[in-house]
Structure formats: structure tokens, C-alpha cells
Amino acid sequence: MPKGQPCFLPDEANAEGFKCVLIDRPRLLTGGIATTGPLARSLFFFGLTEEQALIAHLKGKGLVIFTGCGHPTIELIVEMVNRLSKEPIYIIGGGLHFPITGGRGSRAGIQFQTFIGTGKPVWQRITDDDLSNTISALNKFNPSKVFLSSHDSCDHFLTCMKHELKAENEVLKAGKTYRF
């Protein structure tokens, strides 16, 4: 039973038995875990969408950043993390949204991921130049390890990350345990 434990929510909602806490800004949540608060990016037709990233501090190692789909861009996420803490970034894990050569699924033969959620107008696509800029930024952030989600990203992205990212990197697998 939750007995009034906090339930951190991105929007007004009810969670029976929990003390609902609306997260509308960066803040410390509990036990060395924080949130960037909502970070917005245009999904073109759908207007702005907001995602939050979680940040955990590992004693003696640094910060672990957990992204969602990565629509706000890892550059914006890390910029916010650096405003919240001067600790080094140890690990980045999650989505970065890079469907350059295609998406993971289609509806009616259309791969919506390739033009929705990119922050660009639908007639412009994410390019290798965008990917190169992100890889350069990640190399500058200097994490020890990067765990990549393939959810909204193509195999071309994963291959480029494997060969060009300085940090050790691995594609996340559902159900696998990660220790660091």
C-alpha cells in the first residue's frame, strides 16, 4: 500500500493512496534522483510535446541520465543537467530519436517516426550532419558509457554510434540487467 508515498506526475492526475506531486520544473525527487522537468520540442502537426529526463547520482562515479524518446535532443537534456549539477556525466541511457534511414514501424506503409518528433518541418528529415553534430556533442560530454534505445532510431544510427562514439556503447535490450 502506498500510504501517502509521493507519486511524481507530469500532469494533473490521481493515483489512489499516493501523494500526487506535479513535476513542472527541474527538481530533486528523492534519494539522489532528480528530473530535468519538462523539456519541449515541436512534433510539427501535434505542436509541442514535453519529455523529462531523470538524473541519478552514483557516488564516486558521477551522473546517470535516463532519457525518454529523446525528442528534446540530448544536447538540450545535458544542458539542463549541467544547470542542475556540476558532477561529471558517467552514463547516458535511453532514446535519442534518430530515424535517418527509416523508422522501426509503419502505419499504412508510412514511417511516421522519420518526420514526426524530429523538431523539423515534415518536409525536412534528420540527416547525417545532424547525427555527426550529436556524436560530437556526446564525445564532448565525455560519458563513460552510453546505452542506446533503438525505439525511434535506425540501424544506420546505431552503427555510426558504435564506430564514432568515444564512450563504450551498447543497445538496450528489454529484460536485460545492466550493472555498472
* Four-point Cα dihedral 166, 171, 175, 176, nearest 10: -40
The predicted pLDDT at position 132 comes to 97
Rounded CA separation 98/176 (Å): 23
Percent helix / strand / coil, the chain, rounded to 5: 25, 25, 50
Question: For the chain, which residues score pLDDT lower than 50?
Answer: none
**pTM of the full structure:** 0.90
Rounded CA separation 173/91 (Å): 16
DSSP, collapsed to helix, strand or coil, labels residue 136 as: helix
The predicted pLDDT at position 120 comes to 83
User: Which domains can be identified in the chain, with CATH numbers?
Assistant: 25-171 (3.60.15.10)
